[in-house]
A and B are shown apart, each in its own frame.
Chain A
Amino acid sequence: MRVSFVVNGREESADDVWEGESLLYVLRERLGLPGSKNACEQGECGSCTVYLDGVPVCACLVAAGQVEGRRVRTVEGLAEGDRLDPVQEAFVECGAVQCGFCTPGLIVQAHDLLERRPRPSDAEIREALAGNLCRCTGYEKILDAVRLAASRKEAR
């Protein structure tokens, strides 16, 4: 089947999509957007988190056909050209990126948190990121990065 939807502001379509295929597969393998990572394929790790019509979801659990006519925003769509989003910047500066595999999902999820709660408490950050697994950094630097991004966003 053919699936047409808007990705990071651009109309895209993919042909010969298998009906059981996930949005994640379409993004990575058909549209060349490898930012969203494929790890668990069961919604446990959060590495494939993208916005679907403005709401963060696990792309591995969305059937490709379900995005027909809808809007998807991936980690690639957060930066404006070469200018990183404050969340991306903060992750780099705080050393919240180690192997980098979980980073895109964490960044999208943290981005959504700060859109909804500009000054989140630590408990709110922890709850918002509860579905994103990291096996390297131990989360402290990730928490630092989210706090830094929040303070920068507020200063703007």
Chain B
Amino acid sequence: MDFLRPTTWEEALAAKADQPESVPIQGGTDVMVEINFDVRRPPALLDLNQVAELREWSMTGGLCRVGAGVPYAVVVDELGGPLPGLAQASRTVGSPQIRNRGTVGGNLGAASPAGDSHPPLLAAGAAVEVESRERGVRMIPAAEFYRGVKRSALEPDELIRAVHVPPATGPQYFSKVGTRNAMVIAVCSFAIALHPGERRVGTGLGSAAPTPRRALEAEELLAAELDWEAPLTPALARRFGELCARAAAPIDDVRGTAAYRVHAIGVLARRTLAWAWNDHLEKRAA
């Protein structure tokens, strides 16, 4: 096994181009588990920890650009204002030790359907900035990034550089079902983002299909029927929950049954919409 230690982004891209089979490692919270348990022994590890720029975030061109090496702890501490959904989800990741090391970039790279950062990225309309030495930068919308269980649109010679997330213009919530309060992989999860300017609601489902995904029909329902000046009607909230549940395509596994997940997604969707809507109305009243 090789251990590659680039110190600049250019060196990292060159290393990935020359050894596409190398596995990028950031916080190690996924990659090291697989190595410790001998699930996988990659020919090379590509350590990105020394590429300092990956640990930075900034507001660029009206978007919040979060470097692939920004740990969850920093998202929680510093990005709760512009990215409340992502910050809420980040706070539910593992333990403090894991949040100190794990990154949104690593979550994207692993592309697990259970990754906690995926639903809020989908709901907010994020895009993933990836780059290769040969073909340069590509921006991949989050909704097109996830391709299958632990498969993404990332090419073998590409690295994730950052994720670009529109700052919140309305309330956002993330909710997750687990068997205890801390240290759980989601049984299922749901994120919602209100975009009042566009009269649009974004959604994201986690652990409820082979990939994280949006509930498109549910979004269309709200785009057509939601009155942004008025209280949410229970009937509309219920239909929203039903359409979100219908967007789920889960499996039975050790964490929960498919039927339970479908049911729970409906409940999470209805509740998070109600929370977000209350915030929206309060803000209008203020």
Contact = CB atoms under 8 A, between A and B. Distances in A.
A46 interface: yes
A66 B28 contact: yes
A109 B96 CA distance: 9
A77 interface: no
Interface in A55-73: 55-58, 60-63, 65-66, 68
Nearest to B100: A55
A111 B236 CA distance: 50
A150 B64 CA distance: 38
Contacts of B25: 63, 66
B271 interface: no
Interface stretch (A4-12, A14-22, A78-86, A139-147): A14-22
A56 B1 contact: no
B3 A19 contact: yes
A76 interface: no
B139 interface: no
A131 interface: yes
Interface stretch (B30-38, B237-245, B246-254, B274-282): B30-38
Contacts of A115: none
Nearest to B182: A130
A127 interface: yes
A65 B97 contact: no
B47 to A, nearest CB: 5
B49 interface: yes
Interface of A: 1, 18-20, 22, 41-44, 46, 49, 55-58, 60-63, 65-66, 68, 109, 127-128, 130-132
13 contacts: A19-B45, A20-B1, A41-B36, A42-B33, A42-B36, A42-B37, A56-B96, A58-B97, A61-B98, A61-B101, A127-B182, A130-B96, A131-B183
Interface of B: 1-3, 5, 25, 27-29, 31-33, 35-37, 41, 44-45, 47, 49, 73, 94-98, 100-101, 181-183
